């Protein structure tokens, strides 16, 4: 229902910013060889995909090739 708020001394609020806990977090687990191998494999797959897309896209980026066949629509031939 209705809660009454208790007054809080200003000194307590000011010290709240500098409070440090004395409880240390647990140490992180070391990554297993299987996990490291999986991360390396994933990185190699992503890198191979990027390199492959650049290689496949290179012919489209080369400026010296121009289209040999030009297409004309029937609308441009006036009837």
pLDDT tens, N- to C-terminus, the chain (79 residues): 556 666 666 656 656 556 666 788 889 899 999 999 999 999 999 999 999 999 998 888 888 755 566 666 676 655 5
Q: Rounded CA gap, 35 and 42, in Å?
A: 11
pLDDT at position 62: 81
pLDDT at position 10: 62
Q: Are 73 and 79 in contact (CB under 8 A)?
A: no
Q: Rounded CA gap, 8 and 14, in Å?
A: 11
């Amino acid at each position: 229902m209705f809660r009454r708020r208790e007054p809080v001394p200003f000194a307590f609020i000011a010290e709240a910013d500098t409070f440090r806990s004395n409880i240390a977090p647990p140490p992180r687990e070391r990554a297993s060889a299987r996990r490291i191998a999986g991360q390396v494999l994933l990185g190699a797959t992503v890198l191979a995909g990027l390199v492959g897309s650049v290689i496949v896209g290179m012919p489209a980026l080369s400026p010296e090739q121009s289209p040999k066949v030009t297409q004309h629509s029937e609308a441009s031939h006036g009837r």
